[in-house]
Amino acid sequence: MNLQEKYNNPITNEKINKLLDEMTIDEKIGQLNQVGPSPVGGFEISLKELDKMLKSGRISQQEYENSVRGMYSDLREEEVRQGKIGSFLGVKGVDKCNKLQHIAVDESRLGIPLLIGLDIVHGYRTIFPIPLAESCCWDEDMFEKTSSIAAKETAASGINWTFAPMIDVARDARWGRIAEGAGEDTYLTSCFAKAKVRGFQGNELSNPEKIISCAKHFVAYGAAIGGRDYNTADVSLQTVFETYLPPFEAAVNEGAASIMSSFNDLNGVPCTTNSFLFQEILRKNWKFNGLVVSDAGAIGECVNHGTASDKKDAAYQALKAGIDIDMNSSSFSDNIKLLLEQGKITIDDIDRAVSNVLRIKIESGLFENPYTDEALGEKLYLCEEHKSLARDSARKSIVLLKNDGVLPLEKNIKIAVVGELANMRLEMLGTWRGMGCEQETVSLIDGLRENGINFVFEPCCSVDGFFDKEKLLTVIKDVDIVIAAVGEYQNMSGEAASLRNIDLHGRQNEMLKAIFDEGKKLITVLFNGRPLAITEAVNNSNAVVEAWQLGSQAGNAICDVIFGDYNPSGRLTTTFPNNSGECPIYYNHVSTGRPTSEIKHSCKYMDSPLTPLFPFGFGLSYTDYQYDNLVLSKAKDEISVSVDVRNIGSVEGTETVQVYVKDCVASRTRPVRELKAFKKVTLKPSELKTVKMVVPKDSLMFYDANMKKVFETGDFEFFVGHDSTAVLSKIVTID
Ligand code: GLC
């Protein structure tokens, strides 16, 4: 079902037409103009406030300096008063948002309220795990709940639009923005996309506890060659339609009210001026009725792409292609009027874009309710209910990668903790940390203290190269068990953070080896925003806990898992390579004519193992599960899958049962297997449950050599199990 239809209703259309009749050309162009701040610190943040934020640790010295340098002397209030700005990016503080709305509503000629947007990707003040971590929950309810809380806190801050969810499928761990999405699989990312739109927007866009969502980055941004951010994406149309577009179609069908174009060119055409994407796919095929916003500065950057001679040319192309709002490049505000006077564009071109913007402003209830209760936020931010969900989502995002039985630990033992990341709160918040701040975040050390654990701590080793072996040997001398916190700083993933080398940085491996050589039991806890090449670390550890960047409650969640209060249930949504050279690497690859094998003349690297370090879907538990009795039954439009799952261990656990399908023979090469369904099941020791799922026949369609979407009859092999290496399978002929 496509929820876009609700935006195209007679009442809203009548309001739009009435406003269009009254608006001057400057006022119309103003609605297409979004102004963003210069670096951290928003707009008119006062020096006093900045000093307070610095002293309280809410911003670093660097952020303080950026903010002082980037402060606006005025808030462009006059331009708002004249109706020359329709939306803002990055205004922080409910008082500032209300002030801007009052100017727009009370002091401009037509009183059109503002859209005020910010990247609230995984939390506003209560910060949830980064999306790549949260996706390891494989839980649509959780995805929806966390974004619903994020929306509630965000709405209370005066912000009414988030630039999220980010739903770029990512197959290359060198690309820093892999941190922001749901990993390498299209189906899981599509489930994530739908749940996030529901959470942010709810059923009614005008609900004061909801905000406008923005599915980004449209499209194939994650296909950047070499994993280098902003690089070209050169992919077949079949891959665009089979891998990168489906999550956006899912978001649009769920009612996403806005879409953001991506920086990259797609096969030579910048997405920002790509009429095929916006007119053919988005508007015509998907019936999208929301608004399209460019990424920051992306319209102006078409000059750098070499496809626009200047910003006027870029503005012309972007408007004609279907961009409605120019984010922070001033290409529209500087050039649209001139283009109209020169007859290069028509008033209809402008009215189409203005209508899309007004439509979402009307549908979000802003005309009736532009202001925010300034006392609401502090009652909501980091309240117990929100912190509890932050802790629950965090521990469910943790993936146990290795355990020789050392975990879970008893709480009454003495342990040593090393690695600077154990005591770094801000690093737990990851990229796009919203308004999350240091003193409201629980580090691993905080968590150990709060849980009454008897431990000694010495950093001994930094991420970026410091290592004091002598201090290490001293601090671990009197203990049998060591927890080592290693990984990345949060600014080593996210935007503009691509790495050519994803080995464990600095001398962290040296530290782990030194602990191993001392014969200690080593529990390595990873803090990272991407898969890392951690083969050496795994070999030197008794247990490896993937703790990503888990947000406000990171330390408590990690303790819940390490001390057995929660049985880890996370499952990887990205493949972990053995080394950087294997990137890009993903499970749903095609077979090739010489499938990977020990045979020399086969598809592989001579200097790398044949299988990844950890496969997609992988994750250990403190118990174990047995799969039996796989039954497939065909119906007209779907295949039902039934399997018995038993908990054969001694503790209760939650398993994610995964169904993968291989199209055995087709007119184009098909992936060796693709995730088509999954379901979580909680089992007590020895308990058996029959888990039933359905695979729609339509989900087995693909694009043939002529780009026709087809279903081809034949044999399909269904694999059911614990991860993408599942061997329990059955073949069924589907006609
Ligand atoms: C950035 C990002 C985009 C974000 C926007 C506004 O460059 O690419 O994801 O929403 O600018 O902050």
> How many angstroms separate the CA atoms of 89 and 365, rounded?
19
Q: What pLDDT digit, counting tens, does each position of 161-178 carry? A: 999 999 999 999 999 999
Q: Is the pLDDT of residue 40 over 80?
A: no
Distance 711 CA to ligand 1 centre (A): 38
Q: What pLDDT digit, counting tens, does each position of 618-635 carry? A: 999 999 999 999 999 999
- What pLDDT score was predicted for residue 256? 98
Which residue's CA is the nearest one to ligand 1's atom 3? 295
Q: Which of 139, 172, 185, 295 is catalytic?
A: 295
User: Terminal CA-to-CA distance of the chain, rounded, Å?
Assistant: 26
Banded pLDDT at 62 (limits 50, 70, 90): low
Closest ligand 1 atom, residue 263 Cα: 8
Average pLDDT over all residues of the chain: 95
Q: Is the pLDDT of residue 385 over 70?
A: yes
- Percent of the chain surpassing pLDDT 90: 93
- What pLDDT score was predicted for residue 78? 87
> How many angstroms separate the CA atoms of 361 and 657, rounded?
42
Beta bridge partners of 269: 266
By most ligand atoms within 8 Å of CB, the mutation choice from 119, 259, 326 for ligand 1 is 119
Q: Is the pLDDT of residue 43 over 60?
A: no
Distance 500 CA to ligand 1 centre (A): 22
Q: Is the pLDDT of residue 70 over 70?
A: no
Q: Is the pLDDT of residue 39 over 60?
A: no
- What pLDDT score was predicted for residue 298? 96
Distance 434 CA to ligand 1 centre (A): 12
- What pLDDT score was predicted for residue 132? 99
Distance 261 CA to ligand 1 centre (A): 10
Which residue's CA is the nearest one to ligand 1's atom 1? 296
Residues touching ligand 1 (Cβ under 6 Å) are: 89, 119, 163, 216, 295-296, 495
By most ligand atoms within 8 Å of CB, the mutation choice from 231, 295, 325, 498 for ligand 1 is 295
Distance 549 CA to ligand 1 centre (A): 20
Closest ligand 1 atom, residue 90 Cα: 12
Banded pLDDT at 154 (limits 50, 70, 90): very high
For 230, the token pair is 């902003």
- What pLDDT score was predicted for residue 72? 46
Q: What is the mean pLDDT of residues 271-275?
A: 98
Dihedral angle sign, alpha carbons of residues 99, 102, 107, 108: positive
**295 a catalytic residue:** yes
Closest ligand 1 atom, residue 260 Cα: 10
Which residue's CA is the nearest one to ligand 1's atom 5? 296
CB 41 within 8 A of CB 63: yes
- What pLDDT score was predicted for residue 54? 83
Distance 217 CA to ligand 1 centre (A): 9
- What pLDDT score was predicted for residue 44? 53
Beta bridge partners of 431: none
Which residue's CA is the nearest one to ligand 1's atom 10? 163
> How many angstroms separate the CA atoms of 20 and 650, rounded?
68
Q: What is the mean pLDDT of residues 282-308?
A: 97
Which residue's CA is the nearest one to ligand 1's atom 11? 296
> How many angstroms separate the CA atoms of 420 and 291, rounded?
44
Q: Is the pLDDT of residue 322 over 70?
A: yes
Q: Is the pLDDT of residue 48 over 80?
A: no
Q: What is the mean pLDDT of residues 430-453?
A: 96
Banded pLDDT at 60 (limits 50, 70, 90): confident
Closest ligand 1 atom, residue 163 Cα: 10
Q: What pLDDT digit, counting tens, does each position of 690-716 carry? A: 999 999 999 999 999 999 999 999 999
Which residue's CA is the nearest one to ligand 1's atom 8? 295
- What pLDDT score was predicted for residue 67? 57
By most ligand atoms within 8 Å of CB, the mutation choice from 230, 495, 498 for ligand 1 is 495
Distance 296 CA to ligand 1 centre (A): 6
Neighbouring C-beta atoms of residue 596, cutoff 10 Å: 15
Neighbouring C-beta atoms of residue 519, cutoff 10 Å: 8
> How many angstroms separate the CA atoms of 67 and 41, rounded?
5
Distance 720 CA to ligand 1 centre (A): 38
> How many angstroms separate the CA atoms of 140 and 146, rounded?
10
> How many angstroms separate the CA atoms of 433 and 304, rounded?
30
Which residue's CA is the nearest one to ligand 1's atom 12? 119
Q: Does the reported pTM lie above 0.85?
A: yes
Neighbouring C-beta atoms of residue 715, cutoff 10 Å: 12
Q: Is the pLDDT of residue 73 over 50?
A: no
- What pLDDT score was predicted for residue 50? 76
Closest ligand 1 atom, residue 216 Cα: 9
Q: Is the pLDDT of residue 142 over 60?
A: yes
Closest ligand 1 atom, residue 164 Cα: 10
Which residue's CA is the nearest one to ligand 1's atom 6? 296
By most ligand atoms within 8 Å of CB, the mutation choice from 88, 115, 163, 435 for ligand 1 is 163
For 209, the token pair is 């506890």
Q: Is the pLDDT of residue 68 over 70?
A: no
Distance 667 CA to ligand 1 centre (A): 39
> How many angstroms separate the CA atoms of 10 and 158, rounded?
28
Distance 315 CA to ligand 1 centre (A): 19
**Closest to 460 measured CA to CA, from 448, 445, 473, 477:** 473
